[in-house]
Amino acid sequence: MTKRRVVVTGIGLVTPLGTGKDKSWTGIIEGRSGVGPITRFDASGMASQIAAEVTDFDVMDHFDKKSAKHLDLFVQYGIVAAREAVEDSGLAVDSGNCNRVGVITGCGMGGLPTIEKNHSIYLDRGAKRISPFFIPMAIPNMPSGHISMQVGAKGPNLSLSTACAAGTHAVGEAFKSIVYGCCDVVITGGTESVICPLGVGGFSSMKALSTRNDEPERASRPFEQDRDGFLIAEGAGMLVLEELSHALKRGADIYAEVVGSGASSDAYHIAAPPEDGNGAVRCMEMALQDAGLLPADIDYINAHGTSTPLNDRCETVAIKTVFGDHAENLAISSTKSMTGHALGAAGGFESVFTALSIKDQIAPPTINLDTPSIECDLDYVPHIARKMEIRAAISNSFGFGGTNGVVVMKRFDQ
């Protein structure tokens, strides 16, 4: 079977650096941090009191009052990012193509703030006062459902919930849906919004979050010797993936070509990677094999790079194992140093950033990297974005439960 080619034709972003792809990408290239004190609730009793919130999102700019009331924030973010991606692509979904257009999204936790709110209502006022919209607001597949309804996409309508790898797994599944002929177009990516007492409190109890509360903008420090945890973030990153001939026929602009994906399990621990990074190794190798590329063909890696002691060390080990001597030639960056860690949306963010890196031929920086830890000794593009040739790149995502996802993209060459 001839492998169908898949390209990125549309992009949409809602991130702590701004609503819209231009604001977000400019912030990434400028090396700005989106981290600040938590404003959604009183976090003074939390060990971690900082997060990467989306601060410029006004719901009334995007939804009428009734719709806004019945959509959890993670659904709103997903819809808005998808709208931008579809508009950016110039795609028109109609009766002639709607059955071949799918929606596949990723989400780690769903509508946790809605669960919190309705549980409180139940305790205070009884079960009869729980909103009839509670379940439709909270379940993780609502972004894909609402996006498909708004766009009119009648192909596959799926949501993946694989923790912090969900966005990347969604992009990988969207890619395969087109490669294997199930769809011609898929709207895909990840969305998340759990900056709430249960979300922050739960991760704080695991000692997963940074407690550098007096320096919010410097708290996300991937690969740094004094990194102390990740910064919880929110938002959505969406892409329109399209079969090449379908895109060319309608004259679509192309950001990059998606050429491979991988998925694996550590089968090791619920929250910690193995010291040798074996699951990540196999996932990167699988993705490269799927892409038909050699390690030496890759110029840039958008790392998972969470700023936790275990992840950054084990990811570095895994990269060295997969790429051998070529690892020293790679430009590697963690955009989480700027966006924080958006959990199920992270892979959506970073798939978009990888496509934009290829299009603009620039590697984003890893900010706050003043003194790399001794075991993190590769080129992480410290502080300043780097103009460079990027022929091909990978984006890594690893999640609780030992789940791993990798997407491979390359510069489009007709």
Q: How many CB atoms lie within 10 A of CB 347?
A: 38
Catalytic residue list contains 341: yes
Q: How many CB atoms lie within 10 A of CB 360?
A: 15
77 Cβ contact partners less than 8 Å away, ≥ 6 residues apart: 14, 54, 57, 191, 192, 193, 234, 235, 236, 345
Q: How far is CA 299 from CA 155, 354, 411, in A?
A: 35, 11, 11
Report residue 92 as tokens.
């028109």
Active-site residue, selected from the candidate residues 107, 164, 183, 314: 164
Instruction: Check the CA dihedral 227-231-235-241 and report its sign.
Output: positive
Say if residues 381 and 364 touch (Cβ distance below 8 Å). Answer: yes
d(CA 22, CA 15): 11
Active-site residue, selected from the candidate residues 146, 169, 246, 341: 341
Say if residues 212 and 220 touch (Cβ distance below 8 Å). Answer: no
d(CA 83, CA 98): 16
Catalytic residue list contains 146: no
Active-site residue, selected from the candidate residues 146, 169, 246, 304: 304
Burial of 60 (0-12, 13-18, 19+ CB in 10 A): exposed
Catalytic residue list contains 304: yes
**CA angle in degrees (0–180, nearest 5) for 345-347-351:** 125
Q: How many residues would you count in the chain?
A: 414
Kindly write down the DSSP assignment for every residue of 305-356, as one continuous string.
--S-HHHHHHHHHHHHHHHGGGGGG-EEE-THHHH-B-GGGHHHHHHHHHHH
Q: How many CB atoms lie within 10 A of CB 39?
A: 11
Active site residues: 164, 304, 341
